[in-house]
Every structure is written in C-alpha cells, then in structure tokens.
C-alpha cells in the first residue's frame, strides 16, 4: 500500500513539473518538491571471506600395507569464513581417508587423496600415496642341540636373542650349574678362576653371581694393594667398597708402614722436635728407645748453647722438655742450677731501666719465676719489692700543671705557672713586682730628670710640662706678622727634694727548669731580669693660666713666685693645685738567678728558694704555693 502511495506522489510531482515548464509565466511560485518517504534501515550482512588456498603437510607418501597416517590441511587465508575440508580417495580399495584426513593403507598400489574446500570447490590439493607390501617375517633358525651339563654351552645358548620354546628350561638348568660351580670354587683366591666363573655366570639372576662379584672385587683390591705395598694403597683398600676380608692384614701393614715412615722422617730432619713427635705419635714406636737415647744426649747440649747466649726463654724450654721426658735424668740438677742463675741475672738487668713499666713488670715476672723454680732468695725478694715501688711511681701521671702565688721581700706580688714532669725536665715561668712598681706608672709626673738629679738633694729644680690645650676659638691676624691663638697652658713645679726619701719600683720576670728528685720533691733553677726604678717623693704645684699668645714660657717655684718670662701676657684667670706623688728617677735592667725546691702534696704544691740580683748585694728568700693538676 505504501508503495502505491509513493508512486502516486511521484507521478503527481512529475506532472506538476511538466506543467510548470510549459506555462512559466502563469505562476511565480516555486514548485513543491515531494520527498520520497524514508525506508526503514536493515542491518548489514557480515562480509564473507573465501578460501584461496590449501596446504598439506605431505604431498607424497610411501606406506606399507596396514600403515596409517594423518594428513593436515592448512587453509588460506587464516580468517576464511568456512574452513571445512572435504577429503576423497580415488582408490578406496588401496587407501581410505576419513573426514579428519586420517588415511589407512589397505592394499598394495597407488592412490591419490584429494583435499577440497567445502566453500570453494575450485581450491583443491592432492597427496600421492604409494602402498608397498609388508616384509615377510624372518623365520627362526632351528634350535641347536643342547648339552644340558655344559655350563659354557648353556651360557652360549642364552646369548642368542629372541624367544625359544626351550629357553625357560635352559635358564633353570643354567642357574643350577652356576650354583654348583660356585660351591666348587668359593674358597679360591685366584683372580683368573673368579673372573672365568663370572664370565660363565653372566646370565645368572641368582645371588651367587652377586657374591662372586663381591669376592672378585675384594681379591682384586687386595692384590693391587699388596702389589703397590704403600700406605696409600692399603688406605685405599680400607676405604673401598669391597668385602674387606683382608682388613686386619691391611691395618697391620699400615701400622708397620706408618711407623717406618715416621722414623724415617724423624731421622731425615734429625731435630729434637722430630724425635719428640715420633715418640708422641700413634705409630707402633718400634724405634722408641733409639729416639729417647738421642734426646737424652742432645737436650743438655742445646741447653748449654742457649746458656752461653743468656737466652733464658730457650733455656727454660730445654729444661722443661728434658724434665718432661726424663723426670729423673742425670742432668736435671745441673740444668736447673744454671737456669736459676741466668734468670736472676736477666731479672736484675731489666730492673735497671727505672723508666720502663714494661721492663720492670717483666723483671718481676722473671724473678718470681726464679723464686718458684729455685730456692728462696731474700735478695731477689727485695728487688721485686723495689720494682713494685718503681712501677707504682711510674703509673702516676707523666706530669702536673701547676699555677699559684710567688713572692720575695722586694717584690711581694707574684704569679707563677709551669709543668712538673715525672720523667724528664719540666719548666716554670714567674713574674713578681711591688706596689711602687705598680703605682709609679700611674702617678708619674716627670719622665726625664736632669743629669745628676739625685746627686744633690738641696738644689731647687723645676720643669715645665704642657698638660692640656683647650681651644676656645680660632682668630687669625695678619698685621705685623702676628699670629694669636687663645689656649690653656698648665705648668708643673716640683718642690726641692727632701733628703733620704728614696724607694725602688721592682718588676721581675723569670723562667727556668725543674727536675724531680723523688716523688713528691722537685728542684728548680732559672734566671731572668729585674727592672728597678729609683723613686723620690715630691710636692707638685700645678699652675693653670689662660693666655692669649701662642709663644710663652712661665716658670714658678712652689711659693708661686715667677722665676723668669719672655714676654708679658694677658691673663684671664689663674688657679693653683698642690698634689703629692713620685718622680721617677734612673731606670735600670739587671740580671738575676733563682733556685729552690718544690713539694707536691695531692692537688697542692709549695715552693721555697733563693733569688739574687747579679751585680748588687740584693738577695732574698722566695716563697710560693698553689694548685697542681
């Protein structure tokens, strides 16, 4: 019905198109185009892949009647839609083939098997098969006549391959004869007899053959061992997997050979150790007396040689070996006496090294050994105690750092530090001074005094010193070549000296070495320099004047009266101050020496000594103390 409607619509559209072309001016409207109704979409069919070729695993075969074989066909392409193969034989009376390609040879002749594609019969492949007749079975030769009492003949019959009606009976008779033959030769040690029997019993399945083989192997191994007649050959026999019927013989021979070898080795080396090892060994020791005689003769000889070299260790070794081997030997007493004397000398020699703990300990070890080995000696015992004291002393620290106070009457303020060595030289440094030496630098008023200042106590002397300048302003004048600058001037005046008012400022610097006498006492000695400043007392008047000229000199005595002047000045203000202090006199550096003793007690130390200034009659006792670490 839908098709009829569609045809009607199409005819109507065609007629209107024809009319519009025939009468174009009668209408300006465009014709209406009717669309054909859409048909429902049907699913696409899968694409078919045809077979283009076939390959067989065999294209030619040669078979025998009753043989079978399977042909394998491979279809190309591998994605062919229908891979089914149709198999056919052109001569079913000769060769038949099933649907899987398996062929069977029926009769002699020639046949062609065809493999054809089920979907494309034009694709075909062939296999040519030739069928040959099967070979006729070989007829067995007639059985020979059998000698049922001949073991060799029965063995030869059993050598034949294939089955025989009488084979079972032959095997039974054969086993009986094998057993009888073994009973006849079982005690034989002849290898040729045993070997011949094993050849005849080659087809036997009884235990007799196993027993005979074991016997043969053992006899062969023992024969080889005796032939070599060596330690290795007998050892190999005992290690082997044979019956070992001759094990005791092998062990006896080994023991003999071991002992011979051990004695031969000992004689070849010809040393004390080689003969000792022979006697300590596990051999038969048939030559033990020979070895003991040699050792008893040579131990004292070697001991004497070591004694001549003072070789205590080897002397002791020889002595111990001799005593161990010959507890009641005739040379024991002489060897022991000589050894004790040598040990004592060695111990005393080592104790002479007072600075070595190891030598002192070794000395004690040797001397104690001497005490245990020999008769007691009080001299040796005192030496051991002395060594113990030395060891205790040496185990103290190698030295002690110390620091503390030191003084002398002329310089009571001091400090010292240094090192107290236990085993070698130590050192110390020290510095001492007095209060005048400390304060003279602070109260110094005059640095340079005139020559012979201290020789005349009653000459008035003054010196002008400029102390401070304070700039108030800067004024520059060029008329008459005059330059003016207001500033502050200070004048110091020293009063006449008073007779006898002298003192010294001392500063001492020292360095030296110390040496331990015995713990805890050290001695020290050193030297250094002392700086001495001779000082005098003085009253000082400071006169401060503010002036307006740069060049000036004003000098005053302590009563304020001017001594002289170079020009008159304008004074703005004046003030006087009177103070007391020191004036430094002549300064000198002098050498000095220092010596004394130091005592250390736990963490403290104390010192006392003498200090002397060279070139003067000044000397004094020094004292000190502090901490030692």
Q: In angstroms, what is the C-alpha Rg of the chain?
A: 70
Shared domain check, 561 and 545: yes
Shared domain check, 598 and 468: yes
Shared domain check, 528 and 463: yes
CA–CA separation, 395 and 434 (whole Å): 42
Is 42 part of a structural domain of the chain?
A: no
Shared domain check, 614 and 485: yes
Is 90 part of a structural domain of the chain?
A: yes
* Contact (CB, 8 A) for 54 and 115: yes
Got the DSSP string for 251-317?
HHHHHHHHHHHHHHHHHHH-SHHHHHHHHHSSS--TTHHHHHHHHHHHHHHHHHHHHHTT-HHHHHH
Shared domain check, 549 and 440: yes
Q: From 345, 351, 374, 355, select the one nearest 363 (Cα to Cα).
A: 351
The band of 96, judged by pLDDT with boundaries at 50, 70 and 90, is confident
∠ Cα 325 299 301 (to 5°): 165
Read off the tokens for 413: 């303020």
pLDDT at 290: 92
CA dist list (Å): 434 to 407, 580, 613: 9, 20, 15
Span 239-291, pLDDT tens digits? 888 888 889 998 888 888 889 899 999 999 999 999 999 999 888 888 999 99
CA–CA separation, 508 and 432 (whole Å): 5
pTM of the shown model: 0.35
Q: Which residues lie below 8 Å from residue 4, measured CB to CB, with a gap of 6+? A: none
pLDDT at 526: 95
Read off the tokens for 455: 């020789």
Q: Pick 226 or 565 by higher pLDDT.
A: 226
pLDDT at 359: 87
Read off the tokens for 135: 């070979």
Beta strands in 388-447 (DSSP E): 399-408, 413-421, 426-433
% of the chain beyond a pLDDT of 90: 24
Read off the tokens for 387: 């060594």
Span 178-209, pLDDT tens digits? 999 999 988 888 989 999 999 989 888 889 99
pLDDT at 504: 72
Is 271 part of a structural domain of the chain?
A: no
Q: Pick 505 or 294 by higher pLDDT.
A: 294
pLDDT at 142: 59
For residue 480, pLDDT over 80 is answered with no
pLDDT at 367: 87
For residue 8, pLDDT over 50 is answered with yes
Q: Mean pLDDT, to the nearest integer, of 317-342?
A: 90
% of the chain beyond a pLDDT of 70: 71
Choose the final residue of a domain: 345, 373, 394.
394
For residue 104, pLDDT over 90 is answered with no
Q: What is the mean pLDDT of the chain?
A: 76
Shared domain check, 373 and 313: yes
Choose the final residue of a domain: 132, 151, 185.
132
Q: Which residues lie below 8 Å from residue 471, measured CB to CB, with a gap of 6+? A: 485, 486, 487
* Secondary-structure percent of the chain, ordered helix, strand, coil, rounded to 5: 35, 30, 35
Our separate counts of H helices and E strands in the chain read 14, 20
CA–CA separation, 526 and 432 (whole Å): 14
Q: What DSSP designation does 335 have? A: H
CA–CA separation, 563 and 354 (whole Å): 80
Q: Mean pLDDT, to the nearest integer, of 367-380?
A: 85
Got the DSSP string for 65-125?
TT-EEE--EEEESTT-S---EEEEES-TTTEEE-TTSEEEE-SSEEEEEEEEESS-TT-EE
CA–CA separation, 222 and 243 (whole Å): 10
* Contact (CB, 8 A) for 361 and 391: yes
pLDDT-wise least confident of 341-355, 427-441, 585-599: 427-441
The band of 220, judged by pLDDT with boundaries at 50, 70 and 90, is very high
Task: Tell me the angle at which helices 167-185 and 191-200 cross, rounded to the nearest 10 degrees.
Answer: 170
- Give whichever of 163-167, 466-470, 587-591 has the largest mean pLDDT: 587-591
Is 156 part of a structural domain of the chain?
A: no
Q: Which residues lie below 8 Å from residue 424, measured CB to CB, with a gap of 6+? A: none
Q: Which residues pair with 612 in a beta bridge?
A: 593, 619
Span 491-528, pLDDT tens digits? 444 444 444 455 677 889 999 999 988 878 999 999 99
Q: How many residues does the chain have?
A: 629
Shared domain check, 385 and 293: yes
In a 3-state reduction of DSSP, which class is residue 319? Answer: helix
Q: Which helix (H) or strand (E) holds 566?
A: none
Q: Which residues pair with 63 in a beta bridge?
A: 131
Is 3 part of a structural domain of the chain?
A: yes
**Omega before 77 within 30 of 0, i.e. cis:** yes
CA–CA separation, 39 and 236 (whole Å): 105
pLDDT at 182: 92
Shared domain check, 506 and 486: yes
Shared domain check, 411 and 387: no
Choose the final residue of a domain: 377, 394, 411.
394
| Number of domains comprising the chain | 5
Read off the tokens for 583: 């004036």
pLDDT-wise least confident of 156-165, 379-388, 469-478, 565-574: 469-478
Read off the tokens for 255: 């023991």
Is 142 part of a structural domain of the chain?
A: no
Span 377-416, pLDDT tens digits? 888 888 888 888 888 777 777 788 899 999 998 889 999 9
Span 586-613, pLDDT tens digits? 678 899 999 999 998 888 999 999 999 9
Got the DSSP string for 447-510?
S-PPTTGGG-TT--------------------GGG-----EEEEEEEEPPPPTT-EEEEEEEEE
Q: Which residues pair with 589 in a beta bridge?
A: 531
pLDDT at 133: 85
Shared domain check, 577 and 486: yes
Give the range of the structural domain holding residue 515, as residue numbers without chain letter: 402-628
Is 257 part of a structural domain of the chain?
A: no
In a 3-state reduction of DSSP, which class is residue 105? Answer: strand
Shared domain check, 33 and 62: no
* Contact (CB, 8 A) for 451 and 436: no
Read off the tokens for 492: 């110091």
For residue 39, pLDDT over 60 is answered with no
Is 110 part of a structural domain of the chain?
A: yes
Does residue 546 come out as left (phi exceeding 0), alpha (psi in the -120 to 50 range) or beta? beta
Shared domain check, 74 and 13: no
Q: What DSSP designation does 114 have? A: E
């Amino acid at each position: 019905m839908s098709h009829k409607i569609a045809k009607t619509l199409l005819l109507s559209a065609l007629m209107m198109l024809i009319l519009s072309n025939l009468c174009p001016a009668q209408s300006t409207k465009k014709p209406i185009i009717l669309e054909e109704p859409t048909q429902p979409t049907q699913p696409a069919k899968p694409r078919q892949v045809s077979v283009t070729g076939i390959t067989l695993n065999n294209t030619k075969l040669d078979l025998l009647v009753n043989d079978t074989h399977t042909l394998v066909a491979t279809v190309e392409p591998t994605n062919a839609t229908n891979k089914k193969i149709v198999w056919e034989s052109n001569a079913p009376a000769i060769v038949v083939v099933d649907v899987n390609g398996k062929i069977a040879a029926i009769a002699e002749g020639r046949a062609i098997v065809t493999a054809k594609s089920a979907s494309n019969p034009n694709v075909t492949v062939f296999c040519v098969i030739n069928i040959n007749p099967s070979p006729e079975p070989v007829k067995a030769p007639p059985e020979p006549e059998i000698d049922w009492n001949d073991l060799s003949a029965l063995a030869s019959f059993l050598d034949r391959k294939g089955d025989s009606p009488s084979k079972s009976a032959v095997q039974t008779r054969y086993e009986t004869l094998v057993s009888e033959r073994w009973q006849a030769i079982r005690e034989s040690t002849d290898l040729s007899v045993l070997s011949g029997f094993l050849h005849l019993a080659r087809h036997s399945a009884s235990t007799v053959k196993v027993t005979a083989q074991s016997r043969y192997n053992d006899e062969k191994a023992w024969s080889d061992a005796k032939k070599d007649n060596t330690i290795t050959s007998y050892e190999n026999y005992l290690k082997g997997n044979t019956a070992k019927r001759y094990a005791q013989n092998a062990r006896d021979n080994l023991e003999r050979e071991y002992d011979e070898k051990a004695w031969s080795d000992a004689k070849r080396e010809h040393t004390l150790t080689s003969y000792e090892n022979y006697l300590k060994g596990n051999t038969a020791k048939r030559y033990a007396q020979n070895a003991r005689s040699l050792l008893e003769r040579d131990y004292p000889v070697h001991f004497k040689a070591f004694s001549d070299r003072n070789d205590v260790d080897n002397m002791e070794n020889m002595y111990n070996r001799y005593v161990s081997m010959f507890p009641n030997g005739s040379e024991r007493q002489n060897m022991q006496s000589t050894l004790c004397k040598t040990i004592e000398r060695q111990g005393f020699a080592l104790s002479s090294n007072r600075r070595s703990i190891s030598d002192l300990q070794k000395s004690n070890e040797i001397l104690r050994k001497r005490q245990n080995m020999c008769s007691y000696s009080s001299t040796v015992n005192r030496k051991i105690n002395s060594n113990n004291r030395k060891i205790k002393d040496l185990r103290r620290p190698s030295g002690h750092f110390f620091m503390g106070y030191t003084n002398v009457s002329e310089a009571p303020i001091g400090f010292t530090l240094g090192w107290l060595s236990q085993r070698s030289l130590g050192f110390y440094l020290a510095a001492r001074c007095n209060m005048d030496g400390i304060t003279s630098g602070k109260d110094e008023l005059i640095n340079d005094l005139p020559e012979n200042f201290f020789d005349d106590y009653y000459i008035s002397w003054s010196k002008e010193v400029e102390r401070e300048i304070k700039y108030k302003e800067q004024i520059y004048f060029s008329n008459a070549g005059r330059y003016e600058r207001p500033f502050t001037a200070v004048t110091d005046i020293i009063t006449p000296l008073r007779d006898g008012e002298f003192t010294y400022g001392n500063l001492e610097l020292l360095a030296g070495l110390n040496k331990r006498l015995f713990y805890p006492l050290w001695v020290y000695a050193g030297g250094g320099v002392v700086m001495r400043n001779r000082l005098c007392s003085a009253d000082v008047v400071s006169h401060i004047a503010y002036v307006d000229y740069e060049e000036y000199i004003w000098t005053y005595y302590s009563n304020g009266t001017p001594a002289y002047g170079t020009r008159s000045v304008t004074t703005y203000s004046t003030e006087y101050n009177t103070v007391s202090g020191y004036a430094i006199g002549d300064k000198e550096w002098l050498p000095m020496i220092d010596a004394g003793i130091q005592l250390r007690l736990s963490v403290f130390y104390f010192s006392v000594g003498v200090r002397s200034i060279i070139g003067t009659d000044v000397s004094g006792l020094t004292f000190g103390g502090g901490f030692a670490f």
